[in-house]
Structure 1
Amino acid sequence: MNEIQKNLQEGINNFNRKSVNESIKLFEKVLESDPMNPEANYYLGLIYSKDKRYDKSVLHLKVVVDMGISFIFTHQCRMILGYIYYQNDEFDRAEYEFTEVLKANFNITQVHAALSAVYYKKEMFEKAFEEASKAYTLDNFNINAKNTYGFLLCDLGKDPKKGVEILREVVRLKPDNPAYLDSLGWAYYKNGDVKAGIASLRMALDRSKAPEIQDHYDKMAGKKTTGLRK
């Protein structure tokens, strides 16, 4: 085993042991000798994305994608890039990465759910619902897919009663998740139960001060009249 392989393996071992700082040092040593090493670039991209150091993450992930030598690595990197672009409000770029994954026959729940979120942000609501439906059909036990599908059934007025039933089940499974409490609160509102909606959103705000949750709460409490879908 040469020095590059040794540092790479030790870096992966440290990553698996959650010794992140040590693994970064070892992966960077690998790149000093082999700047295009796909595994070192992949792991650094993954580490920096988890640490929300998105600029550095994108640089490393794009190296792997541009090389295209590993089918699995390439599309794992595209998924992470898509999430980063989504977090940065770069929705066209996010759509591109997720669509490329689908083109490679990765017809998986997470990709459809991610595309649904992107299309919703782009106000392409029918496409958002189409992707959410695909995700739910592929795996109706996946809690994120259930949440997205249930939320859109209510928000888009497709079937609010069914949507709130799905979201009640989601919250029963994950009662402390603020995003799921937010979805349920909004679903109650869309079903005309403002009191239950406000109660659910208060619980969500106790757990997270995310702007979307606050927006939903303000809308229901009569403090905000613009900026949200009616």
Structure 2
Amino acid sequence: MYLGSFYEQTENYAKAEQALKQGLAIDPENPRLYFRLGVIYDKWGRKDDSIAAMKTVIQLEPENANALNYLGYTYADMGTQLDEAERLIRKAVALKPGDGYITDSLAWVYYKRGQYEKALPLLEQAVNLVPDDPIIREHLGDVYAKLGMTEKALKSYRQSIKNGHTDKVVVEKKIRALTP
């Protein structure tokens, strides 16, 4: 597990995968190893493998809120299986109420459905719960922009960058699109 995390941090995903699979050879029903493997695959751009790993975690631990949320958010972010995404995330919310990341995920399902008014209060709640997360700030900016709340969108996007968004160029493009 630790070796896999080390390689993950250095973005050596092939070695991280190898280390985690070695762990699974020893302990083939370890949900923590499958979860880390799913995260590695996601970062590596292997969405199908990530989804399969998260499904395995959920099979092994049906009440694993983090895996339920991860899989649900993955579906929502891809814009696919939104009903399944909502079901998974609602179960995660029931297991971990008041979690800002899970709240953000549920809001993101509504956003992807075009239900911006429904997403807004959830994203505002998520920002209150996790004020320093740059992705949640970006999501809030996206909803404000869709609802025509330009000043609030710009403020949220700028805060996202200030909070260390890893894809600053994308957020700056959104800012430029809203400024005359």
User: What per-residue deviation string (whole Å, max 9, x for no partner) do you get for residues 149-185 of structure 1?
Assistant: 1232233223x33421122122223322211211211
- State the shift of 1:101 in Å: 1.0
User: Is the partner of 2:11 in helix, strand or coil?
Assistant: coil
How many residue pairs match? The answer is: 177
- State the shift of 1:122 in Å: 3.8
- State the shift of 1:58 in Å: 1.0
Partner of 2:104: 147
- State the shift of 1:209 in Å: 4.3
Closer/same/farther in 2, CA of residues 121 and 89 from structure 1, 3 Å limit: farther
Find the partner of 1:53 among 7, 12, 29.
12
User: What per-residue deviation string (whole Å, max 9, x for no partner) do you get for residues 32-86 of structure 1?
Assistant: xxxxxxxxxx3322332244332221111101223335x4xx2111000000101
User: Is the partner of 1:208 in helix, strand or coil?
Assistant: coil
User: Is the partner of 1:168 in helix, strand or coil?
Assistant: helix
Closer/same/farther in 2, CA of residues 192 and 154 from structure 1, 3 Å limit: farther
For the pair 1:102 / 2:61, whether they are aligned, the reply is: no
Matched residues in 2 for 1:168 and 1:214: separation?
Answer: 24
Partner of 2:135: 179
Closer/same/farther in 2, CA of residues 184 and 51 from structure 1, 3 Å limit: same
User: Is the partner of 1:210 in helix, strand or coil?
Assistant: coil
Matched residues in 1 for 2:124 and 2:37: separation?
Answer: 32
For the pair 1:215 / 2:170, whether they are aligned, the reply is: yes
Matched residues in 1 for 2:102 and 2:147: separation?
Answer: 21
Q: Relative CO higher for 1 or 2, CA cutoff 8 Å, sep ≥ 6?
A: 2
Matched residues in 1 for 2:143 and 2:72: separation?
Answer: 18
The one-letter code matched in structure 1 to 2:2 is: Y
Name whichever of 43-52 and 174-183 sits farther off: 43-52
Partner of 1:20: none
- State the shift of 1:214 in Å: 4.1
Which runs of 5 or more structure 2 residues have no equivalent in the other structure? Answer: none
Matched residues in 2 for 1:161 and 1:92: separation?
Answer: 31
Which runs of 5 or more structure 1 residues have no equivalent in the other structure? Answer: 1-41, 224-230
Q: Which has the larger radius of gyration?
A: 1
TM-score, scaled to structure 1: 0.67
Runs of 4+ in 1 over 6 A off after TM superposition: none
Name whichever of 77-86 and 123-132 sits farther off: 123-132
Matched residues in 1 for 2:170 and 2:127: separation?
Answer: 20
The one-letter code matched in structure 2 to 1:156 is: R
Q: Aligned residues: percent identity? A: 20
Does the 8 A contact of 1:132 with 1:149 survive in 2? Answer: yes
Matched residues in 2 for 1:182 and 1:140: separation?
Answer: 22
Partner of 1:204: 160
- State the shift of 1:119 in Å: 1.7
For the pair 1:137 / 2:56, whether they are aligned, the reply is: no
Matched residues in 2 for 1:163 and 1:214: separation?
Answer: 24
Partner of 2:40: 84
Does the 8 A contact of 1:147 with 1:166 survive in 2? Answer: yes
